[in-house]
Amino acid sequence: MSMNEFRPPLMCDQCEQTSKGRGCMIAEHPGVCGKDEDVQSLQEILLYGLKGMASYAHHARRLGKTDESVSEFIEEALFSTVTNVNFDVDSLLELVLKCGTINLRVMELLDSGHVEMFGHPRPAEVKHGTAEGPGILVTGHDMLDLLNVLKQVEGTNINVYTHGEMLPAHMYPVLGDHPNLAGHFGGPWQKQKTEFAAFPGPVLATTNCLLLPRESYKDRLFHTRVTAVPEGVRIDGDDYGPVIESALRCAPCDDNWVSTSTIGFHREVLLDRAAEIVAACKEGKISHFFLIGGCDGAEPGRNYYSDFAQATPHDSFILTLGCGKYRINGFDYGTHLGLPRLMDMGQCNDAYGAIAVASALADAFDCSVNDLPLTIVLSWFEQKAVAVLLTLLSLGVTNIRIGPAAPAFISPNIMKRLQDTYNLQLIGPDGAADCAASLA
């Protein structure tokens, strides 16, 4: 079910009928058909934000990181969406923004959990492709699953490869330095049907962004916990013996390395060089920063992000995170001041790191984040992206561009309110033109 399909029922305040759509089907009744469209819109935004936040909180909990205030808010916010509880736009908008505030705390917990469990991140050069021999491909977001797989193949000749949002695993020493982690295979989630079919070994899906498999690989698709497809094989607990057995049965990978990339510009890496970056800005050596990332998808219009990135000035830097990175990381942007112009900060949950870096720069310049030479361009597809956007709005960040299309679950009135308050903008048809406009 997509975000555009799900609409929680509301009760018409005249005929007391409920509807799965936006109205009670009686055009003359104002209820849901009129002013309550905005109430429903805010409830939907809140529900999507909660879903995304719960995903991050789940990952953090698996790493031993929890906060009772997070659970308390989830309960309160869900209660607010129950039938006939809240019909007030202002109080619902307040809950929507509070969801963003709480999500920042969740991402902070997850960030610290990753660093404590897997070591302090550092830039790393990653090989893309495969080495000769049996292999296991790990996709999704849960790095604890990846660590457990690596531990269980120690001492064997089985190579483990990351896929999709697992690429940032290579920046953590505990994972990246493991002798069985060989490299990265493939790109974003929407290409997995082709890429999983091309990979000869088993595929382990750890979280969302899993598509129903093709016949050619469904018998070697494994999944964990709530991640599941009818045709896949479920892993019980943390015993990856069936995956390892499958790797030894399947045809081996070929020796086929196709490229390399540099990743790992986690907030710790950038903050260690904050003084140097600030000095370069003050000397006029850095013209602008661009944050281009989010959640990728297959629909038309997403070439906008690669067009935007390629139009950025040569004395600027591009920060990216999430699977949206795959729209822009296939190009050579060169280097500036000894750093690559494109710096991959990690997974979608590493948006916390981008916020921390922006806040540190603002503090150094004694200004707000909105006064920095910073442009934020986000792509979205699912609930995690909504949670991150709400976090940025809750911090008062303005002038964000989102796309590739207007979210169907935001009513015209609510969209106008967000635009009036935060200058939230939809991306235009021309990425290069929008890039030029952001520099004007």
Kindly report the CATH number assigned to the domain that includes residue 21: 1.20.1270.20
Q: In 10 A of CB 230, how many CB atoms?
A: 7
Question: Is-contact 248 235, C-beta < 8 A?
Answer: no
The confidence score (pLDDT) of residue 10 equals: 47
Q: What SS3 state is found at 317?
A: strand
- Do 51 and 155 lie in one domain? The reply is no
Inside any domain, residue 291: yes
Distance CA(282)–CA(101), nearest Å, equals: 31
Phi-psi region of 423 (alpha: psi -120 to 50; beta: other; left: phi over 0): left
Is 367 a known ligand-binding residue?
A: no
Dihedral pair phi/psi, residue 438, rounded to 5°: -70, -20
In a domain, 428, yes or no: yes
Which residue has tokens 């799900």?
A: 6
Residues 50 and 144 in one domain: no
Q: Any bridge partners for residue 138, and if so which?
A: 162, 204
Do both 112 and 155 map to the same domain? no
Q: Is 163 annotated as a binding residue?
A: no
- Which of 102, 118, 134 is at the close of a domain? 118
Residues 231 and 212 in one domain: yes
24 in a known ligand binding site: yes
**How far out from the chain centre does Cα 140 lie?**
11
35 is in an annotated binding site: no
pLDDT at residue 300, as a whole number: 77
| 384 carries a ligand binding annotation | yes
Task: Say yes or no: 155 and 52 in one domain.
Answer: no
Q: Of 234, 259, 284, which residue sits at a domain end?
A: 259
215 within some domain = yes
Closest CA to 305 of 437, 194, 427: 427
348 marked as binding residue:
yes
Does residue 4 fall inside a structural domain? no
- C-alpha distances in angstroms, 165 versus 252, 349, 352? 24, 10, 16
pLDDT at 35: 52
Nearest Cα neighbor of 160 from 177, 219, 172, 171 is: 177
Q: Do the annotations mark residue 209 as ligand-binding?
A: yes
**179 and 314 share a domain?**
no
Query: Are the beta carbons of 232 and 218 closer than 8 angstroms?
Result: yes
In angstroms, rounded to a whole number, what is the distance separating the alpha carbons of residues 170 and 172?
6
Q: Is residue 2 part of a domain?
A: no
394 CB-side CA count, 13 A: 22
Residues 183 and 252 in one domain: yes
Within-domain flag for 130: yes
Count of domains in the chain? 3
Out of 198, 225, 259, pick the residue that ends a domain.
Answer: 259
- Both 305 and 374 in one domain: the answer is yes
Distance in angstroms (rounded) separating the CA atoms of residues 297 and 189: 8
Least Cα distance to 77 among 111, 109, 103, 43 occurs for: 43
Task: Tell whether 435 is in a known binding site.
Answer: no
145 & 251 share domain: yes
- pLDDT in tens for each of the 440 residues of the chain? 344 433 444 455 545 444 444 444 444 444 444 458 999 999 999 999 999 999 999 999 999 999 999 999 999 999 999 988 999 999 999 999 999 999 999 999 999 999 999 999 999 999 999 999 999 999 999 999 999 999 999 999 999 999 999 999 999 999 999 999 999 999 999 999 999 999 999 999 999 999 999 999 999 999 999 999 998 999 999 999 999 999 999 999 999 999 999 999 999 999 999 999 999 999 999 999 999 998 888 877 889 999 999 999 999 999 999 999 999 998 999 999 999 999 999 998 899 999 999 999 999 999 999 999 999 999 987 899 999 999 999 999 999 999 988 888 999 999 999 999 999 999 999 999 999 999 98
Beta bridge pairs of residue 263: 124
99 labelled binding-site residue? no
Same domain, 244 and 275: no
Compute how many other C-beta atoms are within 10 angstroms of the C-beta atom of residue 404. 18
* CATH number of the domain within which 370 lies: 3.40.50.2030
In which order are the strands placed within the sheet that holds 289-294? Answer: 342-346, 317-321, 289-294, 374-379, 401-403, 425-426
Same-domain pairing of 51 and 180 = no
Provide the residue range defining the domain that includes 300: 265-439
Site of tokens 């943390």:
238
| Residue 5 pLDDT | 39
Q: Are residues 114 and 134 in the same domain?
A: no
- Which residues on adjacent β-strands are paired with residue 403? 379
Model pTM score: 0.90
Report yes or no on 315 lying in a domain. Answer: yes
Judge whether 165 is annotated as a binding position: yes
Residue 71 backbone phi and psi in degrees, to 5: -60, -40
33, 22 in Cβ contact below 8 A?
Answer: yes
71 within some domain? yes
